[in-house]
Each structure stands twice: as C-alpha cells, then as structure tokens.
C-alpha cells in the first residue's frame, strides 16, 4: 500500500500543476487588450443605468483591479488573485449587477453536473461494451454496421449534432420541447410530475451527448480490443478451449477497459466542452447557457468565474478518475 | 502401441495476398507422421524451419494468415480416429485441453494479467468439467496436482506479474496438465530461462509424463534438452520431417546428411576436433528449391535429389529417414 | 509515392475522403471567381430557396449561399491549416527536446504538457476570444488555436523519440561524433514525418471544430465568411423558425462532409502507416 504513494503523490502534484497553469492563463488574459478593462466594465455598468455613489465605484474599481490582476507588482497581484479565487469571489456579475458571479454559477452548476455525470457514465459503459464486442467479433455484419455508423458520427462536432437533433425532433417531428430544463411555470419538487417533466426536457441534450460519447468510446475500444486479441493470454485461452463468452468478457474486454479508464480521464476536458455547447443549443439551464448569456452581454466576470471553476473542476475530476484506476488494475495495486 | 496423433499429408501455409502478388510461406509442407502414446518426442531443427507452426497447426491454433491448406489430422477419441479438420468449432472446443494441451513459447504472458492464478485454473477447468462441489471437484485435485509438481500453494493467490519468469513457466505447465491431457505440445519451454529454471522445467516435464503417462511433443533447438528428456526424436528441415528415430539411435547413427551435420556440430567432452556445419543457409520457406529441400547444401547430392522429394521411409527398424541416399542403400541391400 | 497512393485508394474510406476533399478544395478555388463580394449585403434578392441561378439559395442578408460557401470553405480551411501548421512546430520542438534530453527537462515539460491536455480548452478559448473579439482575424485565430492544440501530439512525438533514442544507430551516431542537432534532424526526422502528417489532419479537425464553435457563439470576427460564421448568422436570423432551411443546412452539411472526410482520411492514413495493421491487411486470406 505504501507503493500507492508512488502512484498517488505524482498525480496530486499533477493536479496542482494543471490548476496552476490554467489559472495563470486566466490571470493573464485581461492583459491582452490595450484598453483598460476596469474602466470598460465601470462604464458598462453605469451605462446600464445602475446608480452607484462614488465610494461604491471606488470600491468596485479596487476589487476589479485586484480580480483582473492589473495593479501593483506582478507577484503581489498574482497572490491577491489567488486569494480571491480561494474565497470564491469573482466579483459581481456585470449583466446581473450586483449579483455575485458565484451565486449565479451555483444555480446552474447542478444542472450541468447532473447532465454530465449521467451521460458520461452511460456512454462510457455502453460505448466500451459495444466497442469491445465489435472488436472481438469483428467480422460479423452487426459489428461492421456499428463500425460504419460510429465512423460517421465520431468526427461530427457537438454543436452540429445537437442542432440536427433539435431540428429533427423538436421542429420537424415535434416530440420533444425545444428549450429549457423544465416547463415554464412548473413547480420544483420531488414529485413525479416535475421529474418526468425534467426528464423530457433533458432527453434531447442527454441523447446528443450519449450518442456522440458512445461513438467515440466505441472507436477507441475497438482499436484497443483488436490489439488485445493478438496477446498471448488470449491465444492461450483459445487453446484451452474456453467458451467464447468467457474469453470475450473476462480476457479481452476486461483488459481493454483499463486503458479506457485512463482515456476517460484525459478526455474529460473535451466532454465538458461538448456538454456546454449542447446546453447552449437546447437552452438547457446549465453552465453552458449561463456562459452564452455572459458572452452576449459582455459579462467578463462571469466568463472568468466559469472558466476558473471549470479548470479546477475538470482537474479534480481527472484526479478522481486516475485514483479509481488502481482499483481495477492489480499490477498497480500490488508490486 | 497406440497412435494418439496422426497427420497425413498435412500442409499448412502462411498466405499473404495483395492485389499484385501472392506469397505462400510453406511452413508445414506435406507432413505425414504417427505419434505414439506414453512417449516424449523431441522435435529439433533450426529457427524458421516450421517447428512452432507444426505445433500450432496440430492443436488447432492456425489463425489467418496461417491456414491448413491440405491433409488431415487425426486424434484418437473414444477408440476412433477423428479428423479434427472436419469438426465444428464447438465439437473441437470440447476436445481442447482434455485431449491435447499447449505450452506456448515464452509463457511469460500466457496468463490473464488481471485475475489471480487460481481463477485462471478455474476458467480452464470449468470450460470442460462441471464443478458441483467446489472443494471436492476443484480445489482438492488442484492442490494435489500442484503438490505433485512441487509448486507452492501461494501461487494460487498471486497475480501473474508477482511471479518470477521461471515460476510462471512452471505454473503454465501445471495449467496445461490439470486435465490430464493425452498429448502435451511444448514449444521451446526452456528458452528465455536461466539454467537453474531450465532444469526445474525439464524435471517437471519428466515427472508429469511418468505420472500421467501421456505424450509430450517438445520443440526446441537445444539438442542437450533432447538428449536429456526425449525418448524419440524428429528432425525438421524446411517444413518437412527428414529423420525420425529413438534418441540414442539418432545421436549415434544419424542417417540424413543434415542430421549428420547437426550431431557433428555438438561439442563433446574431450573432443577438440574442428566442427563443421552445413555450408550455405536454410532456404526461404516462400521460395523452396525443387526436389529435396536440402539438396543445395548436401555434399552427397545426386541428380534424383534435384527433381523428386524423398518420402519418409523406414530404412532401419524404428528409424525413418527422408533421403534418396538411404533408400538407395536399402534397395542395394535387398 | 504513387504506389502508396494507389494502395490507399483501394481503401473505401480513403477513396471517399479523398474525393470529398477534392470537391471542397475545388470549391475554395472557385471563390476566386465569385461574382459577389462576400462582405457586402443585399447583392441578391433575399430568402430565396435553392433555384437557378442561386443553386444553394440566398440568405436574409441578401447573399448568395453558394458563393458564400466557397469563401467559407476557403477561410475555414486556411484557419485550420495555420493552426495545425504552427502547432506541429511547437509539438515537434517540445516532443524532441523532452524525448531526447530526458531527466528533469522531460518531467517538467511533460507536466506542463499534460496540463494542456487535461484543461478544459473551450472555456479558456471563450475567455480569450471575448477579450480580443474585434482583433480576431483569421491569422490571429489560427495562432491562438495553435497555442493550445500541440499538447497531445507532443506526447506522441516524444514516445517515438524515446524509442529511437534506444536504438543502436543512435549510439553509433553519437560514438562517431555526430553533433546532437545533426543527429536529431537527419536521423530521426524520417521517422517522425509520417506521425506529423497523421496528427496534422487530426489537429485540423479539432481546429475547425473550435473555429466553428467560437464563431457560432459570436466570438470571432463574424464579418469574415467561414463555416462557423455562416451558421452563426443563420441561427441569429432565426432561419430554423422561419423555415429557411437552406440557410442553416448548407453550412451544416458542408461541415459534416468536411469533418467526416478529414476523419476518414486520418484513420485510413494512420492504419496504412502502422506496420501491424499493414500485415493484417495483406494477410487476410479469403475465407
């Protein structure tokens, strides 16, 4: 078990490095414009009609300067920035002034998290299962058909696919609602009426993520399995007259799932981006739609808040998946 | 003595086909052989002569690009000879491991790396036998088997990567013999092991054979191993068997020119004479010469050797050779 | 080279992909002959469905969809090429240095590298784009994309260098006094070129996807016609609701063809180059 320190420690360090690099990039972005962003923000707010007395404006200017890391020595600003980050203070939303950005994020976060976690798990399991079987029985007709379908689906970007689903099932054949997380006016509660409403609304966005996720997992798993099938222990199992189902599941697919766990950890960033886009297409009330509104209203604070939290969140999720890996691979568990 | 394995005109080629050319590597080129029960056979020959392919073909592991192109393979099942090339997948699957098992070259990775050794054994056993009472039907016989082979019980709880190379090899041998098969095919079981582990493996194989009274076909290029353990030997050259005899007879009276070179090149205690090997190099199995495959290198080559292939015939009691030199002698002696 | 091409053409996927790419390339060349200036509005009657002479239809802004598409394809491909090209250079440098030097340099570089692999790039790109929105012309967009698209391939190159470093010819070269630079450039490059080519296409897919996404969100210079900006305007003008299906479907279908073709190109190429699958291909006996 002490050897796990050899596994655990580097990964925790890597997590810190990712957060460090990502947040540093976020820190430097405001310096990309020649225009003074703080002044821009203040004029934007005042032009929207919010009345602020001079003392409040000064306080705002001060906190924004700190938040955008623009004043004082570089290191001083950098540490101040981190200080605010840890407190979860991203300043006020510019569009919905003066609501703090963090509050807005907290409302949208559960929607995104729910969608993301369920669809990722479902598409990982189904995609790998189908890919594994198709890779093992690669000459069967159904395997080839699935392969061709996945080949076409895989490279399609999330936006295009979600848009196609939207057009198809919300406009042309209006089965599903075209927007929102639940019907307008519905009361939130743990009753079937609400939950079924929720499910209907999240069906299309979930479908979009699940189908593309399955296609991606299918293709990588098939490739992995085609390599495993040539391994000595698979040939040996065949020589031993083991049943096909035993070989397919216990010898091939089970071994193939291991690199797929690592693969999942590496693609979380991409999946997250896809989820954001899908939400935007379906106006699903998660971080994606929040971000879209922020882009359209020039709400820089909100964008920065979502980005920073995304970096930390995805890095953390990656670390979690990495930590699950030894549970499945005895070669790491025992040395 | 019963023959438990027979091949007739067995041809097994690696076929590579592109739209522009077709390449056939004739690894097993018309082999007819009878293998008796309760004997250890040693198959010797250079690298690339087709020894491993022969084993793979005979135990049904021929996968594309390797194909059985012609001939038959017989197992003795329930007193009758069955041509396994005509069996269905499922029928053949049942025969595996109970009738014939295989120890591959480099057994380092022959075991599933993510399950414990005990579970690997269970997989192989349950594929052929129903286990009603786990203790009685599975664990007891397993322990007895490992004990008989001198393997410690701790290997059962281990994962393959936790065992040393030599130990893994011995576990693989134990696995290959758990169902008391009538034939065991061992492909270079001692290569890639240090001498101490080699000795353990050879001893293990001997013990198994005397315990279970089955036939072992052992393939290795190491003549010392053959001298140590084989009862009868088969010399393979360019996809065919060129000589077959009891081990002692072969070492003392090699008849085929190739075998003569082979035996002659072995170091003997106290013999400091110059060693001669056959001139030239073995032919490419994709581009075999006409007639006898050895004739380009043979110092006794005759005209007939260049045009016709000699058959494997018995020229002395229990000593077969595939060479026109010897059959000519026989004809002359008649 | 010619035999390689002929061999590749036998793969159905490569054939399809190649034809599609040729058609798209042809369309982008056509853009130089466009009778309409892509930046101007109201040059043709608005909202016409596909008919002669506007074979793809027209937009609500009074632009001919067909000729818009020719510019869109050309610009999208240009951005993708710039982004992929520059990121190849970065990937090669990082991969080479990391793989050859090893040690602390390697550990530090790969740690930073992995950060770029794990990071959620979309929010970060959105952040950057929202700040420099006005200055985001094609070259700028290409450069920014290239700064983020090198990480994965740097690792691939690094592992290739690692295996090459252990090979005998490396030791021979070092012992015979070859300077490091010469060694790396002359001896290793022939091995790396196929990898670069295969990853280039993959990177183009990613870069185009990002460009399309950013444009749809309104974050790039929406004046310049690209596949992404076309979709952006179509969505903005509610073309779906108003039933102007040709406006939204034209860029969508073009992009689907582009992505699928690039992907098939990339998979068939890398399968062709991978020696293991090559043998599998020629060893497949007819059953």
Task: Give the sign of the dihedral formed by CA B136, CA B139, CA B145, CA B147.
Answer: negative
Closest C-alpha to C130, from A104, A66, A303: A303
Indicate the residue among A55, A86, A117 that finishes a domain.
Answer: A86
Q: List residues of chain C with CB under 8 Å from any CB of chain B.
A: 10, 282-287
Q: For the segment C198-247, what is each residue's pLDDT rounded down to a tens digit?
A: 889 989 999 999 999 998 888 888 888 899 988 888 888 877 777 777 88
CB-based contact, A239 to chain B, within 8 Å: yes
Taking 70 as the pLDDT cut, the residues of chain A under it are: 1-3, 34-35, 37, 44-45, 47-52, 66, 69-73, 97, 178, 180-189, 335
Closest C-alpha to B43, from B194, B185, B205, B190: B185
- Cα C15 to the center of its chain, rounded Å: 19
* pLDDT on residue C148: 92
**Cβ contacts of C263 on chain A, cutoff 8 Å:** 151, 154-155
The neighbour count for residue A310, using CB atoms within 10 Å, is 28
Cβ-Cβ contacts under 8 Å for B84 (sequence gap 6 or more)? B60, B73, B74, B75, B92, B95
Q: For the segment A128-152, what is each residue's pLDDT rounded down to a tens digit?
A: 999 999 999 888 899 999 999 998 8
Mean pLDDT of chain B: 85
- Region at C177 (left for phi over 0; alpha for psi -120 to 50; beta for the rest): left
Which band of pLDDT confidence, cut at 50, 70 and 90, is reported for residue B109?
confident
* Helix-helix angle C245-273:C12-30, to 10 degrees: 130
Identify the CATH number of the domain in which residue A182 sits: 1.10.3720.10
Please indicate whether, in this complex, the C-beta atoms of B16 and C10 are within 8 angstroms of each other: no
Distance from CA of C183 to the nearest CA of A (A): 32
Please indicate whether, in this complex, the C-beta atoms of B15 and C285 are within 8 angstroms of each other: yes
Environment class of C270 (CB within 10 Å of its CB; exposed 0-12, middle 13-18, buried 19+):
middle
* pLDDT on residue A49: 61
Domain range enclosing A136: 101-334
The neighbour count for residue A279, using CB atoms within 10 Å, is 30
Pick the residue from chain B with its C-alpha nearest to A256: B114
**Cβ contacts of A17 on chain C, cutoff 8 Å:** 111-112, 114-115
Please indicate whether, in this complex, the C-beta atoms of A246 and B111 are within 8 angstroms of each other: no
Closest C-alpha to B303, from B320, B325, B329: B325
More confident residue, B333 or A50: A50
Verify that A173 and A291 share a domain, yes or no: yes
Please indicate whether, in this complex, the C-beta atoms of C283 and B18 are within 8 angstroms of each other: no
Please indicate whether, in this complex, the C-beta atoms of A29 and C260 are within 8 angstroms of each other: no
Please indicate whether, in this complex, the C-beta atoms of A232 and B104 are within 8 angstroms of each other: yes
Phi (first) and psi of residue A21, to 5 degrees: -65, -45
- H helices, E strands: number in chain A: 14, 0
Mean pLDDT of chain A: 84
> How long is chain C?
287
Distance from CA of A20 to the nearest CA of B (A): 36
Please indicate whether, in this complex, the C-beta atoms of A231 and B109 are within 8 angstroms of each other: yes
**Cβ contacts of A154 on chain C, cutoff 8 Å:** 263
Verify that A291 and A330 share a domain, yes or no: yes
* pLDDT on residue A130: 94
Residue pair A272/A234 in contact by the 8 Å Cβ criterion: no
Share of chain C above pLDDT 70, in %: 93
Asked if residue A5 belongs to a domain, the reply is no
* Helix-helix angle A300-324:A254-282, to 10 degrees: 160
Q: Using the predicted structure, report yes or no on whether residue B195 has a pLDDT greater than 50.
A: yes
Six-digit token string for B29: 């080129």
Cis-peptide, bond into residue A226, ω within 30° of zero: no
If you average pLDDT over each of B90-99, B127-136, C254-263, which comes out highest? C254-263
Q: Using the predicted structure, report yes or no on whether residue B334 has a pLDDT greater than 50.
A: no
How many residue pairs bridge chain A and chain C with CB atoms within 8 Å of each other? Answer: 130
d(CA C253, CA B77): 63
Indicate the residue among A54, A86, A118 that finishes a domain.
Answer: A86
Environment class of B226 (CB within 10 Å of its CB; exposed 0-12, middle 13-18, buried 19+):
buried
**Cβ contacts of C205 on chain A, cutoff 8 Å:** 155
Verify that A107 and A188 share a domain, yes or no: yes
Verify that A221 and A262 share a domain, yes or no: yes
Mutation pick from A307, A308, A311 vs chain C, by most beta carbons of C within 10 Å, is: A307
More confident residue, B245 or C50: B245
The beta-carbon neighbor of A241 closest among B97, B109, B110 is B97
Phi (first) and psi of residue C89, to 5 degrees: -60, -45
Closest C-alpha to A37, from A6, A71, A81, A85: A71
Tell me which residues of chain A, numbers 112 to 151, contact chain C at a CB-CB cutoff of 8 Å.
151
How many residue pairs bridge chain A and chain B with CB atoms within 8 Å of each other? Answer: 74
Six-digit token string for C75: 């610009």
Indicate the residue among A86, A118, A137 that finishes a domain.
Answer: A86
Verify that A59 and A114 share a domain, yes or no: no
Cis-peptide, bond into residue C53, ω within 30° of zero: yes
Verify that A79 and A55 share a domain, yes or no: yes
Asked if residue A14 belongs to a domain, the reply is no
* pLDDT on residue C277: 59
Please indicate whether, in this complex, the C-beta atoms of B123 and A236 are within 8 angstroms of each other: no
More confident residue, C286 or C12: C12
* pLDDT on residue C137: 82
Pick the residue from chain B with its C-alpha nearest to A230: B63
* Helix-helix angle A141-153:A192-228, to 10 degrees: 110
d(CA C207, CA C215): 12
Verify that A148 and A261 share a domain, yes or no: yes
d(CA B16, CA C193): 28
Distance from CA of C3 to the nearest CA of B (A): 11
Asked if residue A113 belongs to a domain, the reply is yes
Distance from CA of C4 to the nearest CA of B (A): 13
Which band of pLDDT confidence, cut at 50, 70 and 90, is reported for residue C287?
very low
Please indicate whether, in this complex, the C-beta atoms of B93 and A241 are within 8 angstroms of each other: yes
Pick the residue from chain A with its C-alpha nearest to C249: A164
Verify that A188 and A110 share a domain, yes or no: yes
Asked if residue A2 belongs to a domain, the reply is no
More confident residue, A128 or B197: A128
The alpha carbons of chain C give a radius of gyration, in whole angstroms, of: 22
Asked if residue A227 belongs to a domain, the reply is yes
- H helices, E strands: number in chain C: 13, 0
Q: What is the DSSP string of A124-163?
A: HHHHHHHHHHHHHTTTSHHHHHHHHHHHHHTTS-HHHHHH
Please indicate whether, in this complex, the C-beta atoms of A300 and C131 are within 8 angstroms of each other: yes
Phi (first) and psi of residue B11, to 5 degrees: -125, 125
Phi (first) and psi of residue C66, to 5 degrees: -60, -50
Verify that A80 and A181 share a domain, yes or no: no
Verify that A256 and A113 share a domain, yes or no: yes
Please indicate whether, in this complex, the C-beta atoms of C284 and B17 are within 8 angstroms of each other: yes
Please indicate whether, in this complex, the C-beta atoms of B104 and A239 are within 8 angstroms of each other: yes
**Domains held by chain A: number:** 2
| Unique residue bearing structure tokens 């414990």 | B116
- Give Dmax (Cα) for chain B: 68
Verify that A249 and A304 share a domain, yes or no: yes
Cis-peptide, bond into residue B65, ω within 30° of zero: yes
Verify that A148 and A190 share a domain, yes or no: yes
Pick the residue from chain A with its C-alpha nearest to C208: A157
- Cα B63 to the center of its chain, rounded Å: 18
* pLDDT on residue A275: 93
**Cβ contacts of A231 on chain B, cutoff 8 Å:** 109
Q: For the segment B128-183, what is each residue's pLDDT rounded down to a tens digit?
A: 888 888 788 888 889 988 888 888 999 999 999 999 888 888 899 899 988 889 99
Average pLDDT over residues B218-231: 89
Asked if residue A40 belongs to a domain, the reply is yes
Residue pair C164/C126 in contact by the 8 Å Cβ criterion: no
Q: B160 pairs with which residues across the strands?
A: none
If you average pLDDT over each of A128-137, B78-87, B285-294, C233-242, which comes out highest? A128-137
Mean pLDDT of chain C: 83
**Chains within contact range of chain A (3+ C-beta pairs < 8 Å):** B, C
d(CA B194, CA C63): 79
* pLDDT on residue B300: 84
Which band of pLDDT confidence, cut at 50, 70 and 90, is reported for residue C1?
low
Closest C-alpha to C129, from C42, C216, C61: C216
Please indicate whether, in this complex, the C-beta atoms of B67 and C285 are within 8 angstroms of each other: yes
Residue pair C66/C55 in contact by the 8 Å Cβ criterion: yes
């Amino acid at each position: 078990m002490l050897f796990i320190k050899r596994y655990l420690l580097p990964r925790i360090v890597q997590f810190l490095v990712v957060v460090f690099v990502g947040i540093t990039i976020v820190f430097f972005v405001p310096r990309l414009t020649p225009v003074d962003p703080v002044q821009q923000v203040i004029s934007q707010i005042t032009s929207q009609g919010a009345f602020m007395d001079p003392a409040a404006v000064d306080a705002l200017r001060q906190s924004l300067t700190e938040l955008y890391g623009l004043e004082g020595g570089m290191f001083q600003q950098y540490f101040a920035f981190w200080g605010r980050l840890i407190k979860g203070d991203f300043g006020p939303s510019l569009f919905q002034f003066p609501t703090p950005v963090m509050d807005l994020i907290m409302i949208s976060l559960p929607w995104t998290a729910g969608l993301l976690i369920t669809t990722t798990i479902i598409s990982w399991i189904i995609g790998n299962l189908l890919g594994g079987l198709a890779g093992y029985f690669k000459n069967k007709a159904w395997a080839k058909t699935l392969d061709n379908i996945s080949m076409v689906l895989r490279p399609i970007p999330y936006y295009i696919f979600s848009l196609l689903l939207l057009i198809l099932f919300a406009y042309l054949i209006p089965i599903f609602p075209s927007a929102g997380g639940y019907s307008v006016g519905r009361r939130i509660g743990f009753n079937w009426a609400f939950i079924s409403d929720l499910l209907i609304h999240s069906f299309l966005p979930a479908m979009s993520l699940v189908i593309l996720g399955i296609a991606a997992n299918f293709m990588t798993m098939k490739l992995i399995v085609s390599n495993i099938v040539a391994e000595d222990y698979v040939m040996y199992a065949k020589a031993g007259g083991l049943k096909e189902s035993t070989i397919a599941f216990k010898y091939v697919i089970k071994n193939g799932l291991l690199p797929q766990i690592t693969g999942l950890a590496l693609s979380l960033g991409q999946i997250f981006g896809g989820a954001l886009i899908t939400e935007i297409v379906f106006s699903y009330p998660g971080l994606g739609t929040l971000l879209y509104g922020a882009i359209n209203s020039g709400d820089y604070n909100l964008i920065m808040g979502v980005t920073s939290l995304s970096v930390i969140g995805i890095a953390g999720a990656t670390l979690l998946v990495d930590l699950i890996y030894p549970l499945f691979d005895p070669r790491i568990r025992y040395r | 003595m019963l023959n438990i394995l027979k091949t007739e005109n067995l041809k097994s080629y690696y076929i590579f086909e592109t739209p522009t050319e077709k390449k056939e590597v004739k690894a097993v080129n018309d082999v007819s052989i009878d293998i008796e029960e309760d004997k250890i056979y040693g198959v010797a020959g250079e690298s690339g002569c087709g020894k491993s392919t022969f084993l793979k073909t005979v135990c049904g592991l021929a996968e594309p690009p390797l194909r059985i192109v012609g001939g038959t393979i017989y197992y003795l099942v329930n007193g009758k000879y069955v041509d396994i090339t005509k069996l269905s997948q499922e029928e053949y699957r049942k025969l595996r491991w109970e009738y014939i098992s295989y120890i591959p070259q480099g057994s380092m990775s022959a075991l599933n790396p993510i399950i414990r050794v005990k579970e690997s054994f269970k997989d192989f056993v349950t594929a052929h036998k129903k286990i009603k009472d786990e203790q009685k039907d599975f664990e007891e016989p397993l322990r007895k088997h490992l004990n008989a082979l001198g393997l410690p019980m701790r290997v059962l709880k281990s994962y393959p990567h936790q065992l040393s190379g030599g130990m893994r090899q011995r576990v693989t041998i134990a696995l290959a013999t758990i169902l008391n098969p009538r034939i065991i095919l061992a492909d270079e079981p001692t290569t890639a092991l240090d001498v101490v582990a080699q000795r353990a493996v050879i001893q293990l194989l001997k013990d198994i054979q005397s315990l279970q009274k089955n036939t072992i076909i052992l393939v290795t290029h190491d003549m010392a191993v053959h001298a140590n353990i084989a009862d009868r030997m088969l010399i393979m050259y360019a996809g065919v068997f060129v000589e077959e005899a009891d081990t002692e007879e072969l070492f003392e009276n090699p008849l085929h020119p190739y075998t003569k070179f082979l035996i002659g090149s072995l170091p003997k205690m106290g013999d400091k004479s110059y060693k001669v090997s056959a001139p030239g190099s073995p032919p490419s199995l994709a581009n075999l010469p006409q007639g006898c495959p050895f004739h380009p290198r043979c110092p006794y080559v005759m005209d007939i050797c260049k045009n016709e292939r000699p058959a494997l015939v018995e020229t002395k009691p229990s000593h077969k050779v595939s060479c026109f030199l010897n059959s000519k002698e026989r004809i002359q002696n008649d | 080279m010619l035999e390689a091409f002929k061999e590749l053409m036998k793969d159905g996927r490569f054939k399809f992909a190649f034809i599609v790419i040729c058609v798209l390339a042809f369309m982008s060349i056509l853009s130089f002959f466009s009778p309409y200036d892509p930046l101007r509005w109201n040059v043709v009657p608005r909202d016409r469905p596909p008919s002669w002479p506007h074979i793809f239809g027209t937009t609500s802004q009074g632009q001919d969809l067909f000729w818009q598409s020719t510019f869109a394809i050309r610009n999208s491909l240009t951005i993708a090429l710039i982004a992929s090209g520059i990121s190849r250079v970065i990937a090669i440098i990082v991969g080479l240095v990391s793989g050859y030097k090893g040690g602390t340099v390697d550990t530090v570089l790969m740690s930073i590298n992995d950060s770029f692999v794990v990071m959620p790039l979309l929010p970060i790109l959105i952040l950057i784009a929202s700040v420099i929105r006005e200055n985001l012309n094609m070259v700028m967009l290409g450069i920014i994309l290239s700064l983020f698209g090198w990480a994965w391939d740097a690792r691939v190159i690094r592992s290739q260098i690692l295996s090459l470093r252990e090979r005998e010819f490396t030791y021979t070269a070092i012992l015979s006094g070859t300077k490091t630079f010469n060694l790396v450039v002359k001896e290793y490059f022939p091995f790396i070129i196929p990898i670069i080519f295969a990853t280039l296409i993959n990177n183009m897919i990613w870069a185009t996807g990002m460009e399309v996404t950013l444009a749809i969100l309104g974050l790039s210079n929406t004046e310049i016609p690209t596949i992404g900006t076309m979709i952006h305007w179509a969505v903005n003008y509610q073309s779906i609701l108003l039933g102007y299906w040709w406006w939204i479907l034209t860029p969508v279908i073009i992009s689907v063809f582009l992505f699928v073709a690039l992907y098939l190109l990339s998979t068939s190429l890398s399968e062709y180059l991978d020696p293991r699958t090559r043998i599998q291909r020629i060893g497949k006996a007819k059953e």
